[in-house]
A and B are shown apart, each in its own frame.
Chain A
Amino acid sequence: MTGEPDPRPLNSAVPLNTLRAGESGTIAEIYGGHHLRSRMLTLGLTPGAGVTVLQNYGHGPLIVRVRDTRVALGRGEAEKVFVRREA
């Protein structure tokens, strides 16, 4: 991906907050500032990692499972994580 322009919008990648509870996906890309990205990467939200949405009521924060860890994620933060939905 080096040298390529901003890949947004990726064809099949959607923001994490559009996944319903119980749905899973693979992280395609993480947007946001350096600091926010660093914190997400540290908690295991890296491109290629599988995530499962455990709770998403359509408003308020989400709970996702990534790498055996349950992570609470504000809605705004979840919008910055693009995932490819799994069947």
Chain B
Amino acid sequence: MSVPATLRENVVLPAVQERPILVALAGQPNVGKSTLFNLLTGLHQHVGNWPGKTVERKEGYFTFNGASYRLVDLPGTYSLTANSPEELIAREFILRERPDVVVAVVDAATLERSLYLVAELLSLPAPVVVALNMMDVARQEGIQVEPEVLQAALGVPVVPMSATRGVGVQELLETVERMARADLPYAPRLPQIRPDHQEVLEVIGEQIAGYVPEPYPRDWVALKLLEGDPEITRMMRGALPPERWEEVHAVLRAHDDAQVAVASGRYEWIGRMVRAAVTRPRIGQIGLTERLDRWATHPFWGLVILAGILGVVFWLTYTMGAPLQGLLETYLVGTLADGVRGLLSGAPTWFSGILADGIIGGAGAVLTFLPILVIFFAAMAFLEDVGYMARAAYVMDGFMHLIGLHGKSFLPLFLGFGCNVPAILGTRVIESRRARLLTILLAPMVPCTARMAVIVFLAPAFFGPAAPLVAWGLVLLSLGTLALAGMALNRTLFQGRRSAFIMELPLYHLPNGRTIGLSVWQRSWAFVRKAGTVILIVSIVIWALSYLPGGDTESSYLAQLGKLLEPVGRLMGLDWRLTVALLSSFIAKENSIATLGVLFHASEEGLANLLAATYPLATALAFLVVQVLFIPCVATVAAIRQETGSWRWTVFSIGLSLLISLLAGMVTFQIAARV
């Protein structure tokens, strides 16, 4: 630091008093970092994106002993080598923002592996407090960790805790407070590179001295160069004069095994820490995780269990969600719309129409999907939190290979059952660009809750007791389409090497209600915001188009557009109203019902029966088939554009869905009409 600390504080004294203490929360995946973050900040948190990146950024505030704190949740990463955007974000934040304290969350049950990130954090210029989390899980697995011994060995404060049980949080905050006031001894023992490479490290350090840009520490840059870190290598190639870079590059080339030496050095350092502080379990003792995994990761039983779990998730979603949805429709939306109509009986027809049918009918219908979404999000968050999701990826690896992907793509695709947007954002867990792009193209073929809600709404009226069978058939049809499309794309556009499949299988642990609750709240709120804006506007526009120019739906602009496209619709047995409903589903899938409601001047309850009386079964079936395979909604398209960074792939994705859905619709109608 170039300015003496005292001077600096004098200059900015008023701001220092105002400014909350900046704490960064770092940790590997599956160490309970989010649980701790949620515990500390509760609802005082803001979820956004890191600037210019598609990585989620969570930030929150809390107060402790009268001081206010700003807590920034760094992305969960195994290391700080620039293998992924997450790793880059985490280290750039610490280097540039210089947090007052970095809380490094480690998992007591997998201490060796989770200390690896600590080994990297200690060489950055910010004080580290180690939160030794999951003490309860470690005990359950038969592992005893002694925090005081670990603290003495590391030379930095270590606080034992269990975030899921709320144990040790008070002590952690006290330690953070004292650390922020520089009121604690802090003498970290830094890991050393393996001795055979110590000399090379020094040589490189001297070669780059004076050329390292701010705010990077020289020794750290030298180490990252030896590790072959792509970002730092690029940066130094630009910063060094060409001759000097040639010298450095020659040294690096002569030591291309240094990557292993650096990592081994860190693990040797960890080994010393752990040997002192950890008592191993007795040999032959089998932990809970191992016992459960005998079934959950078995090539046959694992699939049976996965199928069972998915079945229960859907069963819960529809048996609990559908009645709730019905209640909301009847009592909230129906009552409100009738009330408005009654109140405005003297007002012009268009005015009560736009309020009752356009706004309340449209947006209200969307809100009634909320129970289904909440239940689905809760089930997903639960499975994620207990540690099951990685097992699902593992057992699905074989199937995913058939479509040119591996197990990791299963998670985002499965999220697609909730909503395609998080599915596409979720593909960020996939490292290779090829696998990621393919997953993004396939994700919209997973039938999302909104599409399923349309099916659940229409199928009973048309198919009676066979409705669940039809719904199940439509899900299978989508997944079959996904598999075929994956195989076809894999053999044509996406030929090439498959990316690496390496992932941690975390220990199972008890779910945390708070973590699940917050996850559900955040995802549901994001949906409501969308419903509250885009869908509301569209409801009004559709209503206006169906009312103008003459106030009569049959001759409205919307009808004219539908009639223009009717020749295409006819091939699938669809009249102009169903064609318009399909078009409006581009804005949001659930709009097809809202649109039909407007076109038929019917309430939600009456609509299904009215439709059943209007259309033959073949038309209904074809409509459901097209609607479940139709082009993704506008939010999904936006996500595809954002994540692929390419309009070409976005248009390709839309074209592919359009082609498949129209073909499938025609085939369905032509066959069903003849049966």
Contacts and interface: CB of A to CB of B under 8 A. Distances in A.
B632 to A, nearest CB: 30
Nearest to A66: B113
Interface in B501-555: 501-507
Given A37-B259, A41-B260, A49 B502 contact: no
Interface in A35-81: 35-44, 46-49, 54-55, 57, 59-61, 63, 66-74, 76-77
Given A43-B113, A68-B112, A73 B263 contact: no
Contact of B407 (A41, A55, A72): A72
Contacts of B255: 2
Contact of B264 (A35, A46, A60): A46
Contact of B257 (A2, A32, A60, A66): A2
A47 B299 contact: no
A77 B339 CA distance: 64
A42 B500 contact: no
A30 interface: yes
Contact of A69 (B110, B397, B501): B110
A1 interface: yes
Given A1-B257, A47-B260, A60-B397, A73 B501 contact: yes
B9 to A, nearest CB: 38
Interface residues on B, range: 35 or more
A49 B507 CA distance: 21
A8 interface: no
Contacts of A49: 267
Contacts of B257: 1-2
Contact of B113 (A39, A44, A55): A44
Nearest to A70: B505
Max count, chain B CB within 10 A of own CB: residue among A35, A55, A72, A76: A72
B208 interface: no
Given A34-B228, A38-B83, A46 B397 contact: no
A72 B109 contact: no
A47 B122 CA distance: 23
B560 interface: no
B297 to A, nearest CB: 6
A40 B264 contact: no
A47 B264 contact: yes
Contacts of B462: none
B79 interface: yes
A84 B663 CA distance: 56
Contacts of B394: 61, 63, 72
Given A60-B397, A74-B406, A68 B110 contact: yes
B407 A61 contact: yes
Interface of B: 78-79, 81, 83, 109-113, 116, 143, 196, 227-228, 254-255, 257, 259-260, 263-264, 267, 289-290, 293, 297, 299, 390, 393-394, 397-398, 406-407, 431, 498, 500-507
27 contacts: A2-B196, A36-B502, A38-B79, A40-B502, A41-B263, A42-B116, A43-B504, A44-B112, A44-B113, A44-B267, A54-B293, A60-B398, A61-B407, A61-B501, A67-B110, A68-B110, A68-B111, A68-B143, A69-B110, A70-B289, A70-B293, A72-B390, A72-B407, A73-B501, A74-B406, A76-B498, A76-B500
6 A-B pairs with least C-beta separation: A74-B501, A41-B263, A67-B112, A70-B505, A42-B79, A69-B113
Interface of A: 1-2, 30, 32, 34-44, 46-49, 54-55, 57, 59-61, 63, 66-74, 76-77
Given A74-B406, A74-B501, 19 more contacts: A35-B500, A38-B227, A38-B228, A40-B502, A43-B78, A44-B267, A46-B264, A49-B267, A55-B293, A59-B398, A60-B299, A61-B397, A63-B297, A63-B505, A68-B111, A68-B143, A70-B293, A70-B506, A72-B390
